[in-house]
C-alpha cells in the first residue's frame, strides 16, 4: 500500500522509495545527458567478448534491464528496486547520470510497454521464451531508446547486442537482437504512429474503470497525461517568486514552484537551507483546505514522509504526525528538521486503526493508503503492480481509517479525507458512506477560488477532484490526480 505523501515528497536522502533524491531531468538538460549516454556506445564495438573493455554506457543499460525485470518479473516497486540496486557495488560505481539514465529507460518501458511490445512483435517470428525474460527486457529497453528517447539507433543497437553477448541469460539472442532492433529503427516509427495510444499502454481493467467513471474522451485525456513524464514541483516556505527566479522555474497559480530542468535535488539552491520541499502541485492542496491553522492542534494521519506535515507546520499549527512505520517517520523527522520545523511537530509510530491518544484535535488530515492511480506520471510501475482485486481490500481499510479519524476530531473541528487515486470508490464512495453513518459530520463545500484553481477541480458535491491533465496554471499542464473532501463536526 502506498500513502499519498509517499508520492509527493522525494527530497530526503534516506527515502526508501527512490533512494537518493533525484529530479525529473539531470543537470545540463536532457539533450546533453542523452548525448553523454550515446557517445559511450561509440567507444565499444558490438561483438567485443571475454576480457574486452566494457563500452561506456553499458552499465546504465544493464541497470535499466535490472529495474525493468524487478517490476515486470518480480512485482517490485521501481524506486524500491533502484534503492536495492544502489547497494550493489557495481551499481554504486556508476556515475549519477548513468543511474539517472537507467531509471529513465526503465520508466519509459513501464509507461509504454504496450506500444513497445506491439512494435517488437511485428519483427519476432515466434514469441520469446516466457521463462527467459532477459532477452525481452533488453529488447524493450533498446526499443524505448530508439523510438521514444531519441537515442541514435546505432548506439542503442550496439549496446543491446553487446549486452546480450555478455549476459549468460541472453547470449544466444545477440543476432536476433541485432536483426530485430535494426527493423525497429527503420520500420518502428511508422508502426508506432499507427497504434491506438494511449489506450494500448493502459491495462484493460484500469481503462474500463476510467471510461465508466469519466467517459471515454476524459479517460483518453487522463491516460495521455498519466503517460507523460512529470515536472518537478516544490512547496516553498515563503517568497515563491524569489525561489522560482533563483531556480529557473515558474510560480504556479496555486502557489507551488515548478521546475522543468533541474539537477540532483539535494544540490539545488535552498535545499540545505530548508527553503522548500518537493511536493506535486495537487498534493499541496489538501492541507490548505483546513484554512488558517495557526495555533491549532492538528493530527496528520498516515503522515510520512511529511509534505503535508510541513505545510501545516509552516502555517503555524502544532502537528502530531502519525504513521505506522518508524522508518518512514525517521524520514519525516529528517524532512521537518531540514525545514527548521521540528519544534512544531511531534511524531508517533502507531497503527491509526487502533491508535487511542485519549484526546481530540482541532483538525485532522487523513491521507489514506490507496491505489495511487492519480500518480502514474511519477510512478509508471503502478500500471503493472496494481490489480482490480486490490480495490475491495483497500476501500475496507480506508473506511476503517476514516471512522477512526472522525473520533479524533473535536466538536466543531474539521476533517480532511484525501487520496491520490482516480477511483471514485476510494473517494466519494468512502466519504458518502461515512456521512450516511455519521450524522454529526457534514460536508463543507470547497470553492475553486480558495485554492486559486479551476472550477473543473470541484465536484458537484463540493469535493476536490484533480485529474492528471488539469492545469495548475495556464500553459502548465499536468498535476497528480487527487481527491479530497472537507468535513466539519457539529459543535
Residues involved in catalysis? 420
CB distance 262 to 268 below 8 Å: yes
Q: How far apart are CA 228 and CA 427, in angstroms?
A: 24
Rg of the chain over CA atoms, in angstroms? Answer: 23
Name the pairing type of β-strands 441-443 and 409-419: unpaired
Cα angle at 196 between 190 and 198, to 5 degrees? Answer: 110
The three three-digit cell numbers of residue 339, written as one number: 525545514
Name the pairing type of β-strands 276-278 and 232-236: antiparallel
CB distance 86 to 92 below 8 Å: yes
The three three-digit cell numbers of residue 371, written as one number: 491505489
Phi, psi values for residue 189, rounded to 5°: -60, -40
The three three-digit cell numbers of residue 437, written as one number: 453513518
Phi, psi values for residue 104, rounded to 5°: -65, -45
Q: Output helix, strand, coil percentages for the chain, rounded to the nearest 5.
A: 45, 15, 40
Q: How far apart are CA 109 and CA 143, in angstroms?
A: 9
Residues sharing a CB contact under 8 Å with residue 208, sequence separation 6 or more, in sequence order: none
CA dihedral 349, 351, 355, 357 (to 10 degrees): 20
Q: What is the largest CA-CA distance in the chain?
A: 77
CB distance 305 to 332 below 8 Å: yes
Peptide bond before residue 164 is cis, with ω within 30 degrees of 0: no
Smallest CA-to-CA distance from 35 within 172, 149, 111 is with 149
Between the alpha carbon of residue 421 and those of residues 110, 223, 231, 324, 456, the distances in Å are 19, 14, 19, 20, 17
Smallest CA-to-CA distance from 149 within 25, 10, 20 is with 25
Cα angle at 368 between 69 and 113, to 5 degrees? Answer: 25
Name the pairing type of β-strands 232-236 and 250-251: unpaired
Residue written as grid cell 459530520: 441
Smallest CA-to-CA distance from 60 within 112, 18, 120, 104 is with 104
CA dihedral 306, 309, 315, 316 (to 10 degrees): -120
Amino acid at each position: 500500500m502506498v500513502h499519498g505523501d509517499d508520492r509527493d515528497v522525494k527530497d530526503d536522502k534516506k527515502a526508501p522509495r527512490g533512494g537518493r533524491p533525484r529530479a525529473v531531468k539531470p543537470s545540463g538538460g536532457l539533450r546533453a545527458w542523452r548525448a553523454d549516454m550515446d557517445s559511450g556506445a561509440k567507444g565499444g564495438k558490438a561483438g567485443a567478448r571475454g576480457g574486452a573493455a566494457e563500452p561506456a554506457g553499458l552499465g546504465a543499460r544493464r541497470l535499466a534491464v535490472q529495474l525493468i525485470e524487478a517490476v515486470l518479473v518480480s512485482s517490485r516497486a521501481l524506486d524500491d528496486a533502484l534503492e536495492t540496486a544502489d547497494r550493489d557495488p557495481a551499481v554504486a560505481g556508476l556515475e549519477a547520470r548513468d543511474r539517472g539514465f537507467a531509471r529513465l529507460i526503465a520508466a519509459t518501458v513501464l509507461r509504454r510497454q504496450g506500444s513497445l511490445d506491439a512494435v517488437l512483435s511485428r519483427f519476432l517470428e515466434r514469441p520469446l521464451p516466457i521463462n527467459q525474460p532477459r532477452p525481452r527486457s533488453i529488447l524493450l529497453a533498446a526499443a524505448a531508446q530508439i523510438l521514444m528517447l531519441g537515442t541514435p539507433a546505432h548506439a542503442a543497437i550496439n549496446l543491446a547486442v553487446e549486452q546480450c553477448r555478455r549476459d549468460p541469460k541472453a547470449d544466444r539472442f545477440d543476432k536476433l537482437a541485432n536483426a530485430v532492433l535494426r527493423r525497429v529503427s527503420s520500420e518502428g516509427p511508422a508502426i508506432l504512429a499507427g497504434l491506438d495510444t494511449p489506450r494500448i499502454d493502459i491495462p484493460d481493467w484500469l481503462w474500463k474503470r476510467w471510461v465508466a467513471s469519466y467517459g471515454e474522451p476524459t479517460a483518453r485525456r487522463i491516460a495521455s497525461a498519466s503517460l507523460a513524464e512529470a515536472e518537478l514541483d516544490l512547496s516553498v516556505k515563503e517568497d515563491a517568486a524569489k525561489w522560482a527566479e533563483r531556480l529557473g522555474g515558474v510560480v504556479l497559480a496555486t502557489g507551488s514552484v515548478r521546475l522543468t530542468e533541474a539537477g540532483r535535488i539535494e544540490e539545488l539552491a535552498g535545499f540545505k537551507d530548508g527553503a522548500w520541499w518537493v511536493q506535486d502541485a495537487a498534493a499541496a492542496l489538501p492541507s490548505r483546505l483546513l484554512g488558517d491553522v495557526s495555533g491549532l492542534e492538528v493530527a496528520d494521519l498516515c503522515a510520512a514522509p511529511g509534505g503535508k506535515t510541513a505545510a501545516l507546520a509552516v502555517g503555524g499549527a502544532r502537528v502530531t504526525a502519525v504513521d505506522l512505520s518508524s522508518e518512514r517517520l525517521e524520514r519525516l523527522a529528517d524532512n521537518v528538521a531540514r525545514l527548521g520545523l521540528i519544534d512544531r511537530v511531534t511524531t508517533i509510530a502507531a497503527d491509526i486503526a487502533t491508535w487511542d491518544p485519549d484526546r481530540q484535535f482541532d483538525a485532522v488530515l487523513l491521507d489514506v493508503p490507496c491505489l495511487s492511480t492519480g500518480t502514474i506520471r511519477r510512478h509508471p510501475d503502478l500500471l503493472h503492480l496494481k490489480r482490480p482485486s486490490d480495490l475491495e481490500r483497500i476501500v475496507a481499510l480506508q473506511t476503517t481509517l476514516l471512522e477512526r479519524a472522525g473520533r479524533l476530531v473535536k466538536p466543531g473541528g474539521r476533517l480532511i479525507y484525501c487520496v491520490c487515486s482516480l477511483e471514485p470508490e476510494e473517494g466519494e464512495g468512502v466519504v458518502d458512506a461515512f456521512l450516511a453513518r455519521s450524522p454529526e459530520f457534514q460536508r463543507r463545500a470547497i470553492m475553486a477560488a480558495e485554492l486559486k484553481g479551476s472550477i473543473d477541480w470541484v465536484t458537484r458535491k463540493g469535493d476536490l477532484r484533480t485529474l492528471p491533465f488539469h492545469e495548475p496554471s495556464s500553459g502548465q499542464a499536468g498535476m497528480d490526480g487527487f481527491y479530497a473532501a472537507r468535513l466539519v463536526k457539529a459543535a
